[in-house]
């Protein structure tokens, strides 16, 4: 059945994907205030809350990686937990076996994930939709098995995994390691979100979206689809790999069972609930992934999974396009209401509209 | 009056696409809806089939069908050959035709009708067990028309049947449509961008511009009026 | 050589299970144009209900039929309550629906029936078939029932108007409406069928893998793999794919060095992905040709 590119984009990613990415000044104000609040928070909160906020950011970043691939690139992945785990393990191995300073492990983790992601993207070119899902699914299932494999135990630490030392704050800053990790993660997050925003707005970003919406037309326009699609995989893996590295610092260890299929699915759920094709939505997704399983457990240990499922359903029924879509629709209604109010007021007071 | 439309408005979400559109069609009549790209012609047909949100009055056999589900409107005997043909690409040619008769119960007559369609469109008979998606544009259009005919409709709505087809095929297709109208008395409302073709085929024409009907009249009169042709129809 | 033959037969025996699951996956795909990720959990839940009926004293075949009927209705209910509201949402929103369903059913049956492993009766007995050590009566029964289901389903989809209507509704809902098909109800029916087929599969598999909430998890992966391998549009392909996956998995585990039990699933999936690279629609699947 023929769908126009418009219809396809809207069906795939919700209303957000079609709107031009205009950034009015209100947006910049909101972001500015959010960053300011984020910068101040750890000075006022308990250690545990700081840790959780750090995790939200880490998951948000991981979901951002998936968003670049699925939301903007239109390619499906059930395997991003594997890139997260790969990034984490690269960090752990470099720090524990090779004494590499923690900040250098980030580019290394990202870089290796980029390479693996690109390599994975190559055969993935031949697979569409469900078949790609199966391939990425295989990736997600394979990683824990490979990590536990006794042939590689010298490197991976087998089932036990590897312990990771939490990075210390630099000497000149009077904050504890938890707070330092928070700021470090925040800085990395801001840089990478800015990078992602730039990518999406750029010609490359538009080419990628063109490929998502109408691959044949895009190819006819001379866009090198295989190149872009493969690179998208690589970049997406890069983002999630860096998040994995940060995750290793936060958890202070890496083990195969931390990176199962469940993690991949959680990322995907977080992405959809946050709103595909939305950058801020990723943070909402991160919040969901972190808090809701815990909430479900506290409500009822035995039915935790069921409660998790029910909450997911409630969220998706109320916000079918995710939190981002919901905010957009709410904002649109609000502006319309306000402009109608102004029109009415103008009429009442005799002003020309 | 079989089909009577007054004050029809149609909406895509918040956007209004049709404004106070009115027209009518009686049994056996062939009328055409003309207009440039984006005028709203397809929207009119979709509105008749309950595929978009509407306001106003649509009456079929005097009964208001506003707000009816597409499936129920079809059961009144309205067959829509949509834009893009709407072929079931994964199913065979024969299955596509059988689907056209989905709401009928007279099995023997259905089988006879399929043979009659093959008589009209021999090329379809050659490909009866092939996947419909493999057919050429012209063949798919014929299949779409055939599928619509399987309903034994009282009203056929055709959305740009000439689109993307070679002139010879178009001639063939319209010849068959003429024959069908003569044989079975099915009324037809044809939406076309190819105004010359449509005005030759239909008895009466409506001109649509940005969602409003700006002119209507017997096809011959409109075709003869050079001013109208130049202003609205581009030739 | 003897080892090879043994492993092949063992693989085929496992494969019967995967074939059954693969068949339900494809049937559902044909009916609703989606992979049902919660298929396994629906089947497990149905099997638990069957266990409960049997526990309450119902004879096996009465319980069997009752469960199939209950599952059919349950499937329709799930579609109307859960997926119909998500119809107008972005495509991936339904994915959340599937995951939620999975979660709810999995946790639910653990809560109601607890996590202890239960045995499930088989109407076919467990004696070796005709004295052969390679296959026993239950496995033969499993293959037989699967084949019968395949036959019935083939007849239904190819030979009846309702089956055609369902296929059409799944393939192209808008065009289906234009020929008068009530697409909403076709989808609901498809789900009902899916649930019923899944229930049969679950009841056939439980005697072999034992009944517990995560019973279908591993099996489902192989079932999906088999369905994809055989081609998602071909029920016969799904069955063959299921058997193939069983054999591949066993042979990989036995003959590829260093693999052992740990990487069996990985290897199986790698092989399947490799096949898909060569034939993207699966071995028997019909490629959807779309003209630009």
Q: Do C165 and B147 touch (CB under 8 A)?
A: no
Closest CA to C33 of C204, C172, C216: C172
Q: What is the pLDDT along chain A (353 residues), one digit of tens a residue?
A: 445 555 555 555 554 443 444 456 677 777 778 888 877 777 777 778 888 888 999 999 999 999 998 888 878 788 899 999 999 999 998 888 888 888 888 999 999 999 998 888 887 777 666 667 777 877 887 888 788 776 777 777 777 888 888 877 777 777 788 888 888 888 899 899 888 888 888 888 888 888 878 777 777 887 777 888 888 889 999 999 999 999 999 988 888 888 888 899 889 889 988 888 777 888 888 989 888 888 888 888 778 888 888 988 888 888 888 888 888 888 888 888 888 888 888 887 776 54
Q: Do A316 and C101 touch (CB under 8 A)?
A: no
Is residue B22 situated within a structural domain?
Answer: yes
pLDDT in tens, C204-214: 888 888 898 88
ipTM: 0.90
Q: State the chains in contact with C (3 or more Cβ–Cβ pairs under 8 Å).
A: A, B
Closest CA to A72 of A185, A197, A238: A197
Closest CA to A188 of A234, A237, A240: A240
Select from A131, A150, A320 the Cβ nearest to the Cβ of C89: A320
User: Considering only CB atoms, which chain A residues are within 8 Å of B84?
Assistant: 1-2
Q: Which of A7, A9, A126, A131 to mutate to test the interface with C (most CBs of C within 10 A)?
A: A131
Q: Taking the model in full, what pTM does it have?
A: 0.79
Q: Do C225 and A134 touch (CB under 8 A)?
A: yes
In angstroms, the separation between the Cα of residue C135 and the nearest Cα of chain A is 30
Closest CA to B124 of B103, B155, B99, B95: B95
Complete domains list, chain C, with CATH: 2-278 (1.10.3470)
Nearest CA in chain A to C268: A138
Q: Do C291 and B95 touch (CB under 8 A)?
A: no
C64's tokens? 């069997």
In angstroms, the separation between the Cα of residue A149 and the nearest Cα of chain C is 7
Q: Do C178 and B88 touch (CB under 8 A)?
A: no
User: Considering only CB atoms, which chain B residues are within 8 Å of C183?
Assistant: 71
In angstroms, the separation between the Cα of residue C64 and the nearest Cα of chain B is 34
Is residue B196 situated within a structural domain?
Answer: yes
Q: State the chains in contact with A (3 or more Cβ–Cβ pairs under 8 Å).
A: B, C
B88 touches chain A (CB under 8 A): no
Cβ within 8 Å of residue C34, ≥6 positions away: C28, C94
Q: Do A13 and C90 touch (CB under 8 A)?
A: yes
Instruction: Report the SS3 class of residue C124.
Output: coil
CA distances from B160 to A168, B178, B189, C288 (A): 70, 16, 11, 25
The domain of B191 spans: 3-86+153-233
Is residue B114 situated within a structural domain?
Answer: no
Tell me, rounded to whole angstroms, the distance of Cα A88 from its chain centroid.
16
User: Considering only CB atoms, which chain A residues are within 8 Å of B86?
Assistant: 1
- Give me the number of domains chain B comprises: 1
Task: Give the per-residue pLDDT at A1.
Answer: 42
Sheet with B30-34, strands from edge to edge, namely B78-81, B155-159, B187-192, B30-34, B204-209, B212-218
Is residue B77 situated within a structural domain?
Answer: yes
User: Exposed e or buried b for every residue in B34-50, given b needs 16+ CB within 10 A?
Assistant: bbbeebbbbbbbbbbbb
Measured N-to-C along each axis, helices C215-230 and C183-209 cross at an angle, to the nearest 10 degrees, of 120
Select from A1, A134, A276 the Cβ nearest to the Cβ of C273: A134
Is residue B180 situated within a structural domain?
Answer: yes
CATH number at residue B71: 3.40.50.300
pLDDT in tens, B11-63: 987 788 999 999 999 999 999 999 887 888 999 999 999 999 999 999 999 89
B2's tokens? 């079989």
């Amino acid at each position: 059945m023929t769908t126009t590119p418009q219809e396809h984009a809207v069906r795939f990613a919700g209303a957000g994907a079609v709107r031009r990415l205009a950034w009015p000044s209100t947006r910049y104000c909101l972001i500015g205030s959010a960053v300011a609040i984020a910068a101040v928070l750890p000075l006022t909160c308990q250690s545990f809350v700081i840790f959780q906020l750090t995790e939200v950011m880490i998951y948000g970043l991981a979901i951002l990686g998936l968003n670049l691939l699925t939301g903007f690139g239109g390619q499906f992945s059930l395997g991003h937990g594997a890139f997260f785990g790969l990034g984490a393990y690269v960090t752990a191995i470099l720090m524990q076996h090779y004494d590499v300073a923690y900040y250098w492990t980030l580019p290394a983790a990202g870089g290796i994930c980029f390479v693996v992601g690109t390599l994975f993207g190559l055969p993935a070119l031949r697979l569409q939709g469900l078949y790609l899902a199966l391939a990425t699914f295989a990736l997600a299932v394979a990683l824990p098995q490979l990590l536990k494999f006794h042939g590689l135990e010298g490197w991976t630490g087998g089932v036990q995994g590897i312990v990771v030392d939490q990075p210390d704050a630099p000497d000149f800053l009077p904050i504890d390691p938890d707070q330092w990790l928070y700021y470090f993660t925040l800085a990395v997050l801001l840089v990478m979100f800015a990078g992602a925003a730039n990518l999406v707005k750029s010609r490359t970003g538009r080419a990628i979206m063109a490929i998502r919406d109408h691959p044949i037309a895009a190819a006819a326009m001379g866009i090198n689809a295989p190149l872009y699609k493969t690179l998208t995989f690589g970049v997406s893996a890069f983002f999630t790999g860096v998040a994995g590295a940060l995750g290793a610092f936060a958890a202070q260890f890496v083990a195969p069972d931390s990176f199962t299929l469940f993690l991949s699915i959680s990322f995907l759920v977080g992405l959809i609930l946050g709103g595909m094709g939305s950058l801020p939505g990723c943070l909402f997704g991160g919040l969901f992934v972190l808090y809701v399983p815990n909430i479900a457990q506290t409500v009822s240990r035995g039915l935790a999974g069921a409660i998790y499922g029910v909450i997911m359903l409630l969220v998706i029924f109320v916000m079918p396009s995710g939190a981002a879509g919901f905010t957009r629709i709410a904002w649109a209604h609000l502006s319309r209401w306000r402009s109608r109010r102004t029109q009415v007021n103008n009429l009442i007071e005799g002003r020309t509209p | 009056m079989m089909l009577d439309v007054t004050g029809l408005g149609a909406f895509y979400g918040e956007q209004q696409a049709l404004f106070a559109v009115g027209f009518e069609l009686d049994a056996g009549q062939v009328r055409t809806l003309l207009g440039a790209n984006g005028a709203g012609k397809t929207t009119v047909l979709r509105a008749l089939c309950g595929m978009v949100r509407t306001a106003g009055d649509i009456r079929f056999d005097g009964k208001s069908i506003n707000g009816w589900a597409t499936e129920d409107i079809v059961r009144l005997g309205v067959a829509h050959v949509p834009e893009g043909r709407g072929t079931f690409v994964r199913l065979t040619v024969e299955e596509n035709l059988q689907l056209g008769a989905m709401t009928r119960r007279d099995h023997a007559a259905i089988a006879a009708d399929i043979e009659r369609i093959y008589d009209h469109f021999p090329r379809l008979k050659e490909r009866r067990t092939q996947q419909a998606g493999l057919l050429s544009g012209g063949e798919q259009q014929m299949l779409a028309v055939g599928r619509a005919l399987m309903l034994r409709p009282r009203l056929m709505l055709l959305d740009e049947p000439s689109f993307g087809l070679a002139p010879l095929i178009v001639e063939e297709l319209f010849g068959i449509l003429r024959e069908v109208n003569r044989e079975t008395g099915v009324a037809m409302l044809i939406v076309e961008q190819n105004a010359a073709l449509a005005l030759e085929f239909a008895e009466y024409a409506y001109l649509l511009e940005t969602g409003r009907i700006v002119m209507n009249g017997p096809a011959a009169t409109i075709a003869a009026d050079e001013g109208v042709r130049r202003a609205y129809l581009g030739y | 050589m003897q080892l090879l033959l043994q492993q092949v037969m063992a693989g085929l025996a496992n494969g019967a299970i995967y074939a059954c699951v693969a068949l339900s996956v494809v049937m559902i795909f044909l009916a609703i144009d989606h992979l049902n990720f919660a298929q396994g959990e629906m089947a497990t839940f149905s099997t638990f209900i069957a266990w409960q009926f049997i526990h309450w004293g119902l004879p096996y075949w009465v319980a069997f039929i009752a469960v199939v009927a209950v599952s059919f209705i349950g499937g329709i209910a799930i579609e109307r309550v859960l997926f119909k509201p998500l119809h107008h949402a972005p495509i991936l929103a339904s994915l959340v629906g599937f995951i939620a369903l999975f979660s709810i059913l999995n946790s639910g049956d653990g809560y109601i029936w607890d996590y202890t492993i239960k045995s499930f009766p088989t109407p076919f007995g467990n004696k070796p078939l005709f004295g052969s050590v390679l296959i026993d009566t239950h496995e033969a029964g499993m293959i037989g029932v699967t084949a019968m289901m395949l036959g019935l389903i083939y007849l239904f989809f190819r030979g009846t108007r309702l089956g055609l209507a369902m296929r059409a509704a799944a393939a192209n809902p808008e065009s289906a409406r234009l020929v008068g098909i009530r697409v909403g109800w076709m989808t609901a029916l498809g789900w009902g069928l899916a649930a019923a087929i899944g229930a049969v599969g679950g009841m056939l598999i439980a005697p072999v893998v034992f009944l517990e909430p995560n019973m279908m998890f591993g099996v489902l992966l192989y079932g999906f793999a088999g369905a994809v391998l055989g081609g998602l549009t071909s029920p016969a392909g799904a069955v063959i794919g299921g058997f193939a996956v069983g054999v591949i998995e066993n042979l990989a585990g036995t003959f590829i060095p260093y693999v052992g039990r740990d990487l069996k699933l990985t290897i199986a999936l790698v092989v399947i992905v490799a096949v898909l690279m060569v034939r993207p629609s699966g071995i028997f699947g019909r490629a959807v040709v779309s003209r630009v």
